[in-house]
C-alpha cells in the first residue's frame, strides 16, 4: 500500500542547507576534517574505499567523542552491481564470563574500565576492506590522518561540546589509576579543547604509522598488541594478546527487504540492522498519512517498539541465536506484529534503549563504487581506557551483552555481542541508489526507518529527509521528541497513551549522512543539522 501523496514544497520544516551535487566523487562526514581527508584521497587517484579508509583513520583524532583506534566497525561496499558487507566487530575476551565478572565484584557488566572492552575490530576492518577493494597503497591512504595527528587540526564545535561532557564524566573516575592515561592524552590541561582550538596527538600519529607500515598486523600481532595486553593485565582486565592475535574480520552477506519498490539493505546480526527491516516490513502493509502527524508517528513508533523488542530478545552472535533471520523477516511474522498495532500505545516486552556516540561517513567515486562505513567505541570515548603512549581509546562494547546466563545474548568468552552500529544502503531494480547512516546507539534503527520513509513515502530530498524532526522510543511508553514537531501533534500522541518528553538537546537524536546517485550518474549528498557535517565533492 502506498502512502498518500505529499508535496515536499509544503513541508513545514525547511532545512538549514541545500543538498550538494557532483559528477565525479563525493565524501560526506559529520566532521569537516574527515570529509576533507576523503576528498584529498579521491583527488590523488583513490577510489571510494581508499577515501573511506582514510576517513576512518582520521576519525579517532578528529572526532574522538564518538570513536577511537579501539573501536569496532561495519562496512558496506557497492561495486559492479553487488553489495558486500564486512563485520569488523570483535568478540569478548576468551576469559570473559558472568562468573569471571562476579568474581571481580561485578553485579552487572561495567560501562567503563578494562572490564568493558572487547577485541577492537576497526583497524582490522580498515586493512581487510582496503586489501580487497583499495586502489592506492595502504600507507598513502593513512598518510593524511598521520599528518593531521602530527601537526594538529581545529576542533569542531559539536566535538568540543561532547569532549567537555566527557571531561566532566571521567573526572568522577579519576581516582582509579586505569583512567589517568585518558586525561594524559585527551585532557592534558585538565580540560577539553575549545571550539577552534588546535589538537595534536603524536601518540596517534606513531600508532597510525605502525598500522600503515604493517597493514594493521602490529595492532593485533605485534608491538601495539603487546602494549594493549600489558595495560589490561596490569589493571585486572581480561583482554589478552592471544585474544587480539586470534581475531579476523568477517565478510558477510547484507540483508534486505523491499520497501515500496526500493531495496533497503542492512548488515546481518550480530548487529541490529535487522530491526530496521522488521519495522519497515510491518509498516509496508499500513497506510501512512502525512509526515509528522500524530497518526503517522504513532504507527512508526509502534512498529519500531515491536521490532526493537524482538531484536533485544533474539539478536546476538549468529551461532548463538535461537531464531533465524528468515523467521524474523518473514511476511507471516510481520503480519502478526502489524496486527498488534491499534489506536493506543503498546507496552511491549523490551530491553533498555540507551543513547551513545558513533561516527558514520560515506563515499562515492566516478566509477560507481559507493561505501557506507560506521565506526564506534559505543559510549562516546568508550570505556575511558587509553593505552599509554598509543592514543588508543578502547571500546566499551561488552556492555551490550546480557548479564543473564539464560539469555541468547548472555556474556560468554569469545562471543560477539548484540551490536548497535549499522550502516545502511539503498538500491532499486539492481542498481545502487546510495549509502546512508545515522549515528547514535539505540537511536540508529529508529532514525533509519524515519529517514527511509521520508525519502520513499514523502519524496523528501536527502537534506530534508535528514533534517526532518525526529522521535525516539526510550522504553515502555516513553518517547523523546524534538521541539520542532508541531505541538498539536505532540498532544495527540499523549492522548494515544505515549509518555512524551520534548527534547532541546538534539545530539541524542542521531547525526547522519547520505549520498544518492541519480540514474544519469549525478551524485546528491546531504549531512545533518545535528552535527558539524561537511560534504566534499569534485
pLDDT value at residue 13: 73
Condensed to tens digits (0 to 9), the pLDDT of residues 202-235 reads: 999 999 999 999 999 999 999 999 999 999 999 9
pLDDT value at residue 442: 87
pLDDT value at residue 5: 54
Low-confidence residues in the chain, pLDDT < 70: 1-12, 14, 349-357
CA 111, 346, 288, 279 torsion: positive or negative?
Answer: positive
Contact assessment for residue 269 and residue 325, using Cβ atoms and an 8 Å cutoff: yes
Question: For residue 234, what is the enclosing H or E element?
Answer: helix 223-234
Sequence-separated (6 or more) residues with CB below 8 Å from residue 514: 28, 362, 434, 435, 436, 437, 451, 462, 465, 466, 525, 526, 527
In the block, cell 549531512 appears at: 527
In angstroms, the CA 98 to CA 107 distance is 9
Catalytic center residues:
358
Predicted TM-score of the model (pTM) = 0.94
Contact assessment for residue 267 and residue 87, using Cβ atoms and an 8 Å cutoff: yes
Strand partners, 386: 393
SS3 237: coil
Contact assessment for residue 2 and residue 284, using Cβ atoms and an 8 Å cutoff: no
In the block, cell 546512508 appears at: 436
pLDDT value at residue 96: 97
Nearest to 342 by CA among 291, 305, 290: 305
Contact assessment for residue 73 and residue 88, using Cβ atoms and an 8 Å cutoff: yes
Condensed to tens digits (0 to 9), the pLDDT of residues 303-330 reads: 999 999 999 999 999 999 999 999 999 9
The b/e string for 391-415 (b: 16+ C-beta within 10 A; e otherwise) is bbbbbbbbbbbbeeeebbbbbbebb
pLDDT value at residue 384: 96
Sequence-separated (6 or more) residues with CB below 8 Å from residue 63: 30, 31, 34, 156, 159, 359
In the block, cell 581527508 appears at: 37
pLDDT value at residue 352: 34
Q: Using only the alpha carbons of the chain, give its radius of gyration.
A: 22
Distance of CA 51 to the CA centre of its chain: 18
Tell me whether strands 499-503 and 534-537 are parallel, antiparallel or unpaired: unpaired
Domains of the chain: 27-251+362-400 (no CATH), 253-356+423-537 (3.60.20.40)
Condensed to tens digits (0 to 9), the pLDDT of residues 122-159 reads: 999 999 999 999 999 999 999 999 999 999 999 999 99
In angstroms, the CA 296 to CA 418 distance is 29
pLDDT value at residue 357: 64
Calculate the dihedral angle through the C-alpha atoms of 169, 377, 424, 48, rounding to the nearest 10 degrees.
120
3-state helix, strand, coil in the chain (%, to 5): 40, 20, 40
Amino acid at each position: 500500500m502506498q502512502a498518500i501523496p505529499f508535496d515536499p514544497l509544503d513541508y513545514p520544516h525547511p532545512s538549514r542547507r541545500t543538498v550538494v551535487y557532483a559528477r565525479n566523487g563525493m565524501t560526506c562526514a559529520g566532521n569537516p576534517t574527515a570529509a576533507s581527508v576523503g576528498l584529498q584521497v579521491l583527488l590523488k587517484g583513490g577510489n571510494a574505499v581508499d577515501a573511506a579508509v582514510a576517513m576512518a583513520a582520521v576519525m579517532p583524532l578528529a572526532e574522538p567523542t564518538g570513536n577511537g583506534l579501539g573501536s569496532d566497525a561495519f562496512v558496506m561496499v557497492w561495486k559492479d552491481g553487488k553489495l558486500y558487507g564486512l563485520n569488523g566487530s570483535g568478540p569478548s575476551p576468551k576469559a570473559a564470563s558472568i562468573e569471571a565478572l562476579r568474581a571481580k565484584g561485578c553485579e552487572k557488566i561495567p560501562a567503563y574500565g578494562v572490564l568493558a572492552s572487547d577485541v577492537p575490530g576497526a583497524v582490522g576492518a580498515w586493512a581487510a576492506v582496503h586489501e580487497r577493494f583499495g586502489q592506492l597503497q595502504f600507507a598513502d591512504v593513512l598518510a593524511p590522518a598521520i599528518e593531521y595527528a602530527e601537526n594538529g587540526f581545529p576542533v569542531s564545535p559539536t566535538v568540543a561540546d561532547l569532549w567537555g561532557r566527557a571531561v566532566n564524566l571521567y573526572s568522577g573516575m579519576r581516582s582509579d589509576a586505569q583512567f589517568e592515561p585518558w586525561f594524559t592524552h585527551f585532557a592534558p590541561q585538565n580540560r577539553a579543547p575549545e571550539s577552534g582550538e588546535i589538537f595534536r596527538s603524536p601518540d596517534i600519529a606513531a600508532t597510525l604509522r605502525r598500522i600503515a607500515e604493517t597493514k594493521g598486523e602490529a595492532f593485533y600481532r605485534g608491538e601495539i598488541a603487546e602494549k594493549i595486553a600489558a595495560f589490561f593485565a596490569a589493571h585486572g582486565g581480561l583482554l589478552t594478546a592471544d585474544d587480539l592475535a586470534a581475531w579476523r574480520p568477517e565478510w558477510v552477506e547484507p540483508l534486505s527487504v523491499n520497501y515500496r519498490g526500493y531495496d533497503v539493505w542492512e548488515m546481518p546480526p550480530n548487529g541490529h540492522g535487522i530491526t530496521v527491516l522488521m519495522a519497515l516490513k510491518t509498516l509496508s502493509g499500513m497506510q501512512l498519512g502525512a509526515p509528522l502527524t500524530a497518526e503517522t508517528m504513532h504507527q512508526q513508533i509502534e512498529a519500531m517498539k515491536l521490532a526493537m523488542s524482538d531484536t533485544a530478545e533474539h539478536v546476538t552472535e549468529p551461532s548463538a541465536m535461537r531464531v533465524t533471520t528468515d523467521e524474523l523477516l518473514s511476511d507471516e511474522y510481520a503480519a502478526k506484529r502489524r496486527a498488534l498495532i491499534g489506536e493506543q500505545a503498546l507496552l511491549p516486552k523490551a530491553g533498555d534503549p540507551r543513547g551513545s556516540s558513533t561516527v558514520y561517513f560515506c563515499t562515492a567515486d566516478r566509477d560507481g563504487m559507493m561505501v557506507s562505513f560506521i565506526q564506534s567505541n559505543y559510549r562516546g570515548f568508550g570505556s575511558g581506557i587509553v593505552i599509554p603512549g598509543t592514543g588508543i581509546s578502547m571500546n566499551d562494547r561488552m556492555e551490550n551483552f546480557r548479564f543473564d546466563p539464560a539469555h541468547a545474548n548472555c556474556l560468554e568468552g569469545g562471543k560477539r555481542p548484540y551490536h548497535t552500529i549499522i550502516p545502511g544502503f539503498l538500491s532499486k531494480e539492481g542498481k545502487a541508489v546510495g549509502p546512508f547512516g545515522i549515528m547514535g546507539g539505540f537511536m540508529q534503527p529508529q532514525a533509519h526507518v524515519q529517514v527511509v520513509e521520508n525519502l520513499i513515502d514523502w519524496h523528501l530530498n536527502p537534506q530534508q529527509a535528514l533534517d526532518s524532526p525526529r522521535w525516539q522510543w526510550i522504553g515502555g511508553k516513553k518517547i523523546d521528541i524534538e521541539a520542532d514537531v508541531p505541538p498539536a501533534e505532540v498532544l495527540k500522541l499523549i492522548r494515544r497513551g505515549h509518555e512524551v518528553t520534548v527534547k532541546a538537546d538534539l545530539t541524542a537524536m542521531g547525526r547522519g549522512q547520505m549520498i544518492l546517485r541519480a540514474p544519469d550518474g549525478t551524485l546528491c549528498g546531504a549531512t545533518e543539522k545535528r552535527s558539524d557535517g561537511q560534504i566534499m565533492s569534485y
